[in-house]
Chain A
Amino acid sequence: MGITERLANIDRRIIFLFIAIAVIIPLLHPIGLPTKVSPPVEKAYQAMEGLPDGSYILISADYDPATMPEIQPMMYSLLHHAFKKHHKVIVMALWPQGASLAEEALNEVAPLYDAKYSVDYVNLGFKSGGSIVILAIGSDFSEPFPKDMYGDPTSEMDIMSNIENLNDIDLVIDLSAGDPGIPAWVMIANARFHRKIVGGCTAVSAPQFYPYLDSGQMVGLLGGMRGAADYETRLNILGTATAGMDAQSIAHIVIIIFIIIANIFFFVEKRKKG
């Protein structure tokens, strides 16, 4: 077996080791590679920034712990931005664990801006039903959400006193890890109720949502950890997504090098075999 053949059939555990090193070293010793805010993230930022102070923002936390590294930093950044602008934040979830993850972020970010629960923000909790829930809040919030996550009646809350249905919401943000998620919000909240939608999603699903952005059905998109890091950069926050971008870039370089080497060996072997 020649050296090219041996390298072409390299033990995959060696590749795993290289990837692990490529990820761990930049996390221990950050390089600070520059990041440029991508246009879809800039659009998302402007959608929030362009609203008058005190506007009503609905954030749907449709994700779970498996996608936390990508989506949770988006939740933190969006909350920072919303509270900085004194917007009223209504959080809900179409995924069971989304409400708890949103609660974790709210508990950390809201006190930094003196935002008060039930006055400046509320966590309505999880409601099963996907698009049916979106349809329901299109006519009346109190129908699917008579109580918040902690069992308190929403009708007695200051923040909900001016909110009857989706038409009273100035910006809808869906942080989505799958179904139900962005397609359901675009189909119902945008197509039917003409609400402006910003989406945040895992990198895996980002390509399928670009057509919504091009058609104007969404006004901004945060795709994966890169999207979260871009938003942090735009807000001048050093969050976990920004901290992970060095590792992401180095790991990508390592993967590209492996792809190039593998292709060279493939063609060399092919030529040898005639």
Chain B
Amino acid sequence: MSIDFIGVWIAALLTLFIFSFLYKDNPFYKFAEYLYVGISAGYFAAYYYHNVMVPNLFVPLQNHQFDYLIPLVLGITILFRLFPKYSWVSRYGFAYSVAMGAGINFIVYLQANAMQQINATILPLISLEGGFNLGQTISNIIIVIGVSAGLVYFYFSKPHKGFLGSTARLGIWFLMISFGASFGYTVMARISILIGRMQFLINDWIKPTIALISGS
């Protein structure tokens, strides 16, 4: 039995330990859960040290690039969050991060998620591209009505009565349909993860183990 296959056995048993929670909480599940949390924390600490801290900070400092002392100091200020008496020092590090993030994202976010999306919603109600296109016309009408009704639902400056109330209710219907679609996709994702684990258990663990035992 190779080292890799011992790894497969460990992974398979830990998978079964985690699945055992579906029956009820038990010591095997707890063991696997704590092991996962501990190993993840250790793995990421070591990974970030070697792949982020060393190449992005320690190596430049060793090469006398002393401007890297600025991010080092700002990073250390964030650690002051751990000491309540001096936690105000952490504001400098956070302020830099927030300002930098806002500055970089503000324009591109507005451009990509607001302007271009608004542009994509302003559609002809009758599509005549390459002749009359019924499917595209219906699609455009649904998008225009859906976006308008959805926006009216989130307009709270006037009571939702009369025409405004009816449109807001239509907006709720569109929102519910989109939530339903999102939930359907979520179910699909969770089943996919289950399928992935089952494929591992069947193809990488059970079948090779049977082959090993039977000597084939």
Contacts and interface: CB of A to CB of B under 8 A. Distances in A.
**Do A and B assemble together?**
yes
Interface of A: 13, 16, 19-20, 23-24, 27-28, 66-70, 96, 125-126, 128, 131-132, 135, 183, 186-188, 190-192, 202-204, 206-208, 211, 214-217, 223-226, 240, 243-244, 247-248, 251-252, 255
> Ordered nearest first, which 5 A-B pairs have the shortest CB separation?
A69-B196, A215-B120, A203-B189, A191-B112, A225-B192
Given A96-B47, A131-B105, A69 B199 contact: yes
Interface of B: 22-23, 44, 47-48, 51-52, 56, 104-105, 108-109, 111-113, 116-117, 119-120, 143, 178, 181-182, 185-189, 191-199, 202
B52 A191 contact: no
Contact of B105 (A19, A69, A187): A187
Contact of A23 (B23, B56, B186, B191): B191
Contacts, number: 120
Contacts of A192: 108, 111
Which of A126, A191, A202 lies at the interface centre, i.e. has the most chain B CB atoms within 10 A of its CB? A191
A96 B195 contact: no
B174 to A, nearest CB: 13
B48 A96 contact: yes
Nearest to B118: A215
A89 B38 CA distance: 36
B188 A252 contact: yes
A131 B106 CA distance: 12
B48 A191 contact: no
A251 B108 contact: no
A183 to B, nearest CB: 8
Contacts of A190: 112
A187 B109 contact: yes
A252 B108 CA distance: 39
B15 to A, nearest CB: 12
Contacts of B189: 70, 202-204, 224
Nearest to B23: A13
B113 A187 contact: yes
Contacts of A244: 192, 195-196, 199
A37 B52 CA distance: 40
A215 B108 contact: no
Which of B44, B52, B113, B197 lies at the interface centre, i.e. has the most chain A CB atoms within 10 A of its CB? B113
A12 B74 CA distance: 50
Which of B52, B143, B187 lies at the interface centre, i.e. has the most chain A CB atoms within 10 A of its CB? B187
B48 A128 contact: yes
A211 B117 contact: yes
Given A132-B104, A247-B191, A248-B192, 9 more contacts: A66-B193, A69-B197, A96-B48, A128-B51, A131-B104, A183-B113, A207-B178, A244-B199, A255-B187
